[in-house]
Chain A
Amino acid sequence: MDIIEGYAYILGDDISTDDIIPSHTLTIRDENIMVKHTLEFIDPYFSKQVDKGNIIIAGENFGTGSSREEAVYVFKILGIKAIIAKSFARIYFRNLINNGIPAITLEWESKHFAKEDNIEISLEKGVLINKSKNLTINFKKIPIFLTGILENGGIINQLKNRL
């Protein structure tokens, strides 16, 4: 996979899929309207300012709770390139990979990242460079089984190519 480059957006621990996309938005049929509600209880400006934070760097248990894939889909529509977290909730991790969004597990500290830091990620090498801080961090590479899904741009594409 190519190098991923973007700007950091920082989130804390236990961000649930309810936080990412609240239940009251789930019956909205127009995805362009739905995305405006992304993270609305945490940061009402998120969907407007997403270009300045298109790599999410989160704490523990990211994506906990409901299996709603809308919580991944809204990020996909908004152009989120990768999500880094100290740990991921199980279903959310699957949903990210299945949608072709790299999910990187990394025990990071607050000194490593600040909002809008310029980040470069090589999935192949397992290396992350924070250009704003001149910092290089190694991370555990995503298993080959899963990079196969990412390389196809998601599991639906992968399956389509096989059917």
Chain B
Amino acid sequence: MSYTIAEKILKEHSNLKEISPGQFINSDIDLIMVHEQLGGRIHIEYEKLGIDYVWDPDKIFFILDHWVPPPTISAAKMHQDARRFAEKYKFTNNYGYQLDKGICHQVLPEMGFARPGMLIVGSDSHTTTYGAFNCLSTGIGATDVSVVFATGKMWFKVPESFKINLSGTLDKGVMSKDFILTLIGDISTKGAIYKSLEFHGNGVQSLSIDSRMTVANMVVEAGAKCGVFLLDKKLKDWLEKRTEKQYSKVLPDEGAEYEKEFHYNLSEITPVVAKPSNPGNIAKIEDVEGYEIDQAFLGGCTNGRMEDLRIAAKILNSKKINSNTRMIVTPASKEIYLHALREGLIEIFLSAGAVVTNSTCGACIGGHLGVLGPEDVCISSTNRNFIGRMGDPSSEVFLASPATVAASAIKGKITDPREAL
């Protein structure tokens, strides 16, 4: 049998001689990430089991990031419940008190917890982000988390795989966000339901780890179970700085079967946006240019990394944000925040008139630090633009790259970033 990356990882975690797409299996989980949901439904579901242990406290990564610091009493209570649970079950990797650390999908890889070959699950749909590190990682709900906490195992349906071949390099002002939005637009938000997307080709090597994380983050917007990248020199170098732990790279077998294959030449990708209210509602920048915005949001787990802040700072350097527009910058982690501070990027954002917040999921989920009011229009580097996602149900969210967000903030309307660089 020849296997894709997803099949290989699942097989190696399932103690089975053979597996095939569509098969239901029980697999051993290497790591589980939980956030505020621990104080939401997870602790309620888990207590129903009536057990006083978790399978392996070392394999749980707990961090608070969605409502950080808590903007309401109810959010503060949620945090208390989550922390209480983490203490009761003696979680080893308990970051429930370190509200400064940042967003789970950035912090977990920064700390070297995502490594090639691993099977990772998390109580958040964007757990797919760790696919950038040659591992299989996917989002789950509260009852699944409880099952993993109790047993270390979870049921999976072995996914079919799509092979996405990339060639070429992105043009100036075009980012991996434009590529992943283009892909979602092409295959639709249901185009990859339950599938594993494998990214191949020379084009991948031109993408930074930051860029790959953006792509893996958003594969779930096409319905995918996971998006996986191969191990290359760039990833090896990245991992070397982050972990001393051993890992084994996962390559697909010769002759592995893919349900579909796609080819994209990155040099042909141009800036795009996802119009309200669906991440698959893609338009070329030319078709929406000039649409007035009230808020520009840069940051989050999709696009709050150094590469994103750097390009935005380059565009905003010595410029002012439009007087009728608000801009909010949320670095994905404290590490990034500090790095950006030392590089002078934070000063550029502040001088341009942006509000720079701590690292949190706040604005992306309409939680705090940038909630939209009635009929507000926001251009955002985040991953979802559903009705009411960032605030009032009558507000509109356009998803775009950090470059497009920054260029648009200056003009107060949706702007092609290629003209601003």
Contact = CB atoms under 8 A, between A and B. Distances in A.
A154 B386 contact: no
A98 B225 contact: no
Given A23-B365, A27-B67, A90-B193, A154 B150 contact: no
Contact of A146 (B24, B147, B388): B24
B150 A159 contact: yes
Size category, B interface = 35 or more
A94 B384 CA distance: 21
Contacts of A89: 190, 193, 223
Contacts of B123: 67
Contacts of B366: 22-24
A60 B278 CA distance: 13
Contact of A98 (B144, B189, B223): B144
Contact of A28 (B74, B225, B367): B74
A13 B193 CA distance: 14
A75 interface: no
Interface string A115-127: 0000000000000
Contacts of B147: 98, 155-156, 159
B75 A98 contact: no
Contacts, number: 123
A64 interface: yes
Contacts of A67: 37, 123-125, 139-141
Interface stretch (B41-49, B239-247, B296-304): B41-49
Given A41-B393, A145-B155, A163 B386 contact: no
Interface in B118-133: 123-125
Contacts of B393: 41
A68 B37 contact: yes
B389 interface: yes
A156 B49 contact: yes
A95 B388 CA distance: 23
A72 interface: yes
Contacts of A90: 138, 193-194, 223-225
10 contacts: A23-B389, A27-B78, A67-B124, A67-B140, A69-B141, A69-B142, A70-B41, A91-B141, A99-B143, A155-B147
Given A18-B386, A68-B40, 12 more contacts: A24-B367, A29-B77, A64-B223, A67-B139, A69-B41, A88-B193, A98-B144, A146-B24, A155-B144, A156-B48, A160-B49, A163-B150
